Structures are given as C-alpha cells and as structure tokens.
C-alpha cells in the first residue's frame, strides 16, 4: 500500500479570507502530492513502504543511508502536511480549553505569550521550515522551529501543532509579509483536533 495524500477535510475555499483558495489547491494537490510521490519512489521495494510514516521519522537513522535524505524530506513533508490540514478548519480560532489550555498557561504564562513565542519562532525561521508546539517525552510543552520538512518526531518530540512557513504556504496572498500570515492563521486553528493531539502525545 503506497502512501497517499489524505483528502482535505473541507473545501479549498473554506479557510478564506485567511488562506486563499488557490494556495490551498496548490499546497494540497501539488506540494503535498509531490512529497508523497517522492516518498513512494524512495521507499519502493523496501520494508519502509508498508510502515507508518511517523514511525519512520521516529527512527530515521534506521533508514539506509542511500535513501535517508529523500525519506527525511518527503516523509517529513507527508507527516507535517497531514497534521497541518487536520489542525485547521473554517470558523476556527478562539482559544484552547481544558488540560491543553492549563498546560499552555503554566508553560508560557498566558495564551497570548504562547502565541507570541510561536509566531516569533516562525518569523525567525530563516528560509523554509515550520514553527511548532511540541511535547517532549516527559510531557513538557515547548515552542521550536525546524528547517525544511524536518519533523519534530526525528528529535523525540511529539508535534502538537505546527504552522508551515514555507513561502508556498502564504506567498500568493501575503507575498513577503510572513508575520501577517502568521497572525492571520490563528483564525483557522482547530483547537479540538489540537487538544486530541495533545492527549495522543502524552500531554496531561
């Protein structure tokens, strides 16, 4: 069973005006599809073809050296984008509730301070990459950023939520104004799915 792009759980225009329709079409149907196609090519006729993409990333050093870079980039791209579509929704935004809200407050002081740290890590990521809220193995939250399509899973972190700061994620609408995109993105955040991921990653 080859890796596949999951269907978008809402229409291409559902995240307007914060993320434009054409960006969603290209991002999901072309960029994500390219990571999946390249991943399938890299792992063709290996045991990795039937593994879970997140498990591959957790054990990236088990991947043979001749395909490791291709797998790191494209399994990362597949995992990161699969998370990304699911943690957004139309009429999203607002603030988290419950255990996740308490943990954010305890870790960062307030929800606004968390948002500022997350946006700052995204704005300062040089070139292409992601900004993340992650859990470590002791259940502690932090904000990190990664380059390219590197997944937090490769470093023992569980990605609770992440925003894509590659230019392909925002350039058609926001051009060079990445901080403006980062600020607008909070209006489409799906806190129910992020709370589910927080539990899945061992948050309490």
53 and 3 Cβ atoms separated by less than 8 Å:
yes
Q: Give me the phi and psi of 102, to 5 degrees please.
A: -65, -45
Q: Which is nearer to Mn ion, 29 or 55 (CB)?
A: 29
Tokens of 164: 């894509």
List beta partners, residue 162: 132
* Smallest separation, CB 165 to Mn ion (Å): 9
Q: Whose CA is closest to 190, among 162, 158, 153?
A: 162
Q: Which two tokens stand for residue 9?
A: 């759980």
Angstrom distance (rounded) from CA 25 to CA 46: 31
Interface residues for Mn ion in 35-74 (CB under 5 A)?
Answer: none
Q: How many residues bind Mn ion (CB under 5 A)?
A: 2
- In contact, 158 and 121? CB cutoff 8 Å: no
Stretch that binds Mn ion, among 9-17, 108-116, 123-131, 156-164 (CB under 5 A): 156-164
Contact letters (x/-) for Mn ion, 106-145, by CB under 5 A? Answer: ----------------------------------------
Q: What is the contact mask toward Mn ion in residues 157 to 176, using x (rule: CB under 5 A)? A: -------x-x----------
Q: Which residue is nearest to Mn ion (CB)?
A: 164
Residue 150 engages Mn ion in binding (rule: CB under 5 A): no
Cis before 107? omega within 30: no
Cβ neighbours around 162 below 10 Å, total: 24
Instruction: Report in angstroms how near the CB of residue 47 gets to Mn ion at its nearest.
Output: 28
Q: Is the CA virtual torsion 166, 190, 124, 201 positive or negative?
A: negative
Closest distance of CB 108 from Mn ion, Å: 26
Nearest distance from residue 95's CB to Mn ion, in Å?
Answer: 25
193 binds Mn ion (CB under 5 A): no
Minimum CB–partner distance for residue 203 and Mn ion (Å): 25
Q: Which is nearer to Mn ion, 33 or 49 (CB)?
A: 33
Query: Contact positions toward Mn ion, by CB under 5 A?
Result: 164, 166
């Amino acid at each position: 069973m080859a890796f596949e792009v999951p269907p978008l759980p809402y229409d291409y225009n559902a995240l307007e005006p914060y993320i434009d329709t054409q960006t969603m079409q290209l991002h999901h149907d072309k960029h994500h599809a390219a990571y999946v196609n390249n991943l399938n090519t890299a792992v063709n006729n290996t045991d990795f073809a039937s593994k879970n993409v997140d498990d591959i990333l957790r054990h990236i050093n088990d991947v043979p050296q001749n395909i490791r870079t291709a797998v790191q980039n494209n399994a990362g791209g597949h995992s990161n984008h699969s998370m990304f579509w699911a943690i957004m929704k139309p009429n999203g935004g607002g603030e988290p509730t419950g255990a996740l809200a308490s943990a954010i407050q305890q870790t960062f002081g307030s929800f606004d301070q968390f948002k500022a740290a997350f946006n700052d890590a995204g704005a300062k990521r040089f070139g292409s990459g992601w900004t993340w809220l992650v859990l470590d193995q002791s259940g502690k939250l932090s904000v990190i950023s990664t380059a390219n399509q590197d997944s937090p899973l490769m470093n023992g972190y569980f990605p609770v939520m992440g925003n894509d700061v590659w230019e392909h994620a925002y350039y058609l609408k926001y051009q060079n104004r990445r901080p403006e995109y980062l600020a607008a993105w909070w209006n489409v955040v799906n806190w129910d799915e992020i709370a589910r991921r927080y539990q899945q990653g061992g948050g309490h």
